A = this chain, B = another copy of it.
Amino acid sequence: MAPEKARRRPVQARAQVTYDAILQATAQVLVAEGFDKASTNRIAKVAGVSVGSLYQYFGNKEGVFTALIDQVCDEQIALLQGMAGAMLAAPLPVAARAYVEALLATHERDRAMHEAISQQAAHLGLPGLRRVQAESRRVVRRYLEAHADAILPTNLDLAAFALVGMVQGMVDSAFFCEGAAAWPGLAEEICRVVLRYLLGHDAAPA
């Protein structure tokens, strides 16, 4: 697939409806039938729209998928930022727990679509994934800055990097490993990893 050639941003209300219908149909087909079945013709049909319209709005097939992925990533980033605002002053154990729970919940919620994208359109998802990771690191770093005197790591970039990576890795593993996501004590253990890294010991139950 060549990089997208042209797209028309929807300006009228009717156009916005069409645009959204296509993205929604894309998500639906992707999840229900897989990337291989997600042809532009199929997507258009499911969206109740002609192929021609799809090409009017998205330029080419890649454009449809990147738009969908961008939308998902934007939501994820918005969630992160919302949480960051609410948690900036929270004590570490609380913030960590909130972060871990949020990631697990997100994964749980659109697990099917994340899997579909990461397993079959991963190359299209890379830029979005990078954006999410970068924003995650920025948010985490900002938190670490605000709590710098309470934690061991001094290189905050490195610490943010490590934190985002380790949590992501454990969460991914949990969903990748049949049944692991439901383990009792999983979220707690992930928090323990985080706290021991940042504090050198488990949080005092204070």
Interface residues, chain A, with chain B CB atoms under 8 Å away: 1, 34, 36, 118-120, 122-123, 126, 129-130, 133-134, 153, 155, 158-159, 161-162, 164-174, 176-177, 180, 183, 185-186, 189-190, 192-193, 196-197, 200-202
A6 to chain B, nearest CB (A): 12
Nearest-neighbour CB distance to chain B for A86, whole angstroms, equals 25
Taking the nearest CB of chain B, how far is it from the CB of A44, in angstroms?
15
A122-B122, A161-B174, A192-B197 are known contacts; what are 19 more A-B pairs with Cβ within 8 Å? A34-B123, A119-B122, A130-B177, A155-B185, A158-B185, A159-B189, A161-B170, A161-B177, A161-B180, A162-B189, A165-B166, A165-B169, A165-B174, A168-B169, A169-B172, A193-B193, A196-B197, A200-B200, A201-B201
By the criterion CB–CB under 8 Å, are B201 and A183 in contact?
no
